[in-house]
């Protein structure tokens, strides 16, 4: 919600897209696919790995902001009724269009200049178009019940998983392992927000899946999907641990300690209604612990492992640590915007 006093534009941009939980922090979903593909798809570690890491990150970031901002533009009327104002909608139509074209140009330009495979360009384009189908009329699939969840999850899988998979020419086993993890995680992300937003969506007539089936059934299916994703994340964890024997103990210790720490934190917060957030209230502690440990901490371990073989990868470690610190801060003080 926006306050009665609209902040200065630069502060609004910083809060929403730079520092906020709807901006740069969302690049964290790239960490698992990229770190696993680099781990199992690299025979000779060299300087090109850190270059590729940042090139892929830039392309995915451009797609990410393109998706977020176009969705904000498409949601202008609904957000206005709900009392929200996104910074992109404070600009003139011409400036909005220029920003969208700039982001598209950054993504496509990076793909061209870095000589990525043509398949990566097609996947980037498919991710952008799928996001448009999700947000804009005449399709606007976000208001078509379960199709909104499917379309959003597919767009995120293309952006976060298939882009690095095609760029690095990884094998099909890695795609079959990582794509379901990303797809289910993003499904849960949107499904959770639909549950939290049920009242406002119902009042303004936004036909999300949660509005169609009702909050009770939506919570049941959210529990089922989070359980399924928990199982799949364990599969990812076992695959990595078994195939990286020298680091198996470190991986098990890092993941296990993180799951226990998250479980303890959730147990404490649930004992106090004042500190309990909607994130902790709606999602199981097991899922939250596994998701944070395997989608965030496991990639950090894998990137550190790569950096010990190629010192230039420490730049990627530094970026990953910053992302995780900021995301952890938001997790501990979660507030949905």
- Mean pLDDT over 152-180 rounds to 97
Confidence label for 335 from pLDDT (cuts 50, 70 and 90): low
Neighbours of 330 (CB within 10 A): 14
- Domain assignment present for 9: no
For the entire predicted model, the pTM comes to 0.92
Residue 337 above 70 pLDDT? Answer: no
**Domain region containing 153:** 35-332
- Domain assignment present for 294: yes
- Domain assignment present for 20: no
* Enclosing H/E stretch for 280: helix 278-282
pLDDT at 47: 61
- Mean pLDDT over 53-68 rounds to 96
From residue 264, alpha-carbon distances to 141, 251, 269, 316 in Å are 38, 20, 9, 30
| Alpha carbon distance, N-terminus to C-terminus of the chain | 7
- Domain assignment present for 196: yes
- Mean pLDDT over 15-36 rounds to 87
* Percent share of the chain, pLDDT over 90: 67
- Domain assignment present for 153: yes
* Average of per-residue pLDDT values in the chain: 90
Distance of CA 166 to the CA centre of its chain: 19
- Domain assignment present for 15: no
- Domain assignment present for 10: no
Residue 216 above 90 pLDDT? Answer: yes
Residue in the structure block whose two tokens are 């176009």: 70
- Domain assignment present for 30: no
pLDDT tens digits along 109-118 = 999 999 999 9
pLDDT tens digits along 73-126 = 998 887 777 778 888 999 999 999 999 999 999 999 999 999 999 999 999 999
Could you tell me which of 189, 168, 128 has the C-alpha nearest to residue 35? 168
From residue 302, alpha-carbon distances to 49, 124, 186 in Å are 13, 25, 22
Residue 3 above 70 pLDDT? Answer: no
Please give the tally of structural domains in the chain. Answer: 1
pLDDT tens digits along 250-276 = 999 999 999 999 888 888 887 776 666
């Amino acid at each position: 919600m926006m306050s009665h006093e609209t902040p200065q534009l630069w502060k609004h941009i910083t809060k929403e897209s730079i520092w906020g939980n709807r901006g740069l922090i969302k690049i964290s979903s790239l960490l698992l696919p990229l770190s696993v593909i680099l781990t199992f798809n690299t025979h000779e570690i060299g300087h090109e790995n850190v270059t590729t890491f940042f090139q892929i990150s830039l392309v995915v970031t451009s797609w990410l902001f393109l998706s977020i901002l176009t969705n904000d533009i498409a949601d202008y009327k609904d957000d206005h009724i709900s009392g929200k104002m996104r910074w992109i909608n404070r600009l003139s139509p011409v400036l909005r269009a220029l920003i969208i074209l700039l982001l598209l140009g950054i993504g496509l330009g990076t793909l061209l200049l870095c000589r990525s495979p043509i398949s990566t360009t097609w996947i980037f384009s498919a991710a952008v178009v799928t996001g448009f189908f999700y947000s804009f009329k005449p399709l606007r699939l976000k208001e078509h019940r379960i199709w909104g969840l499917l379309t959003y999850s597919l767009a995120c899988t293309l952006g976060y998983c298939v882009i690095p998979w095609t760029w690095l020419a990884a094998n099909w086993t890695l795609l079959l392992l990582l794509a379901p993890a990303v797809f289910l995680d993003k499904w849960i992300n949107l499904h959770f927000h639909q549950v939290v937003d049920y009242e406002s969506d119902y009042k303004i007539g936004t036909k999300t899946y949660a509005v169609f089936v009702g909050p009770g059934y939506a919570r049941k299916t959210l529990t089922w999907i989070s359980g399924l994703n928990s199982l799949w994340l364990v599969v990812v964890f076992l695959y990595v641990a078994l195939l990286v024997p020298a680091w198996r103990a470190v991986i098990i210790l890092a993941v296990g300690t993180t799951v226990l720490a998250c479980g303890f934190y959730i147990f404490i917060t649930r004992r106090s209604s004042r500190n309990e957030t909607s994130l902790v209230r709606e999602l199981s502690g097991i899922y939250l612990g596994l998701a944070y440990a395997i989608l965030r901490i496991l990639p950090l371990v894998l990137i550190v492992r790569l950096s010990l073989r190629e010192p230039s990868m420490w730049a990627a470690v530094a970026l990953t640590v910053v992302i995780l610190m900021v995301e952890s801060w938001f997790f501990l003080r979660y507030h949905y915007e």
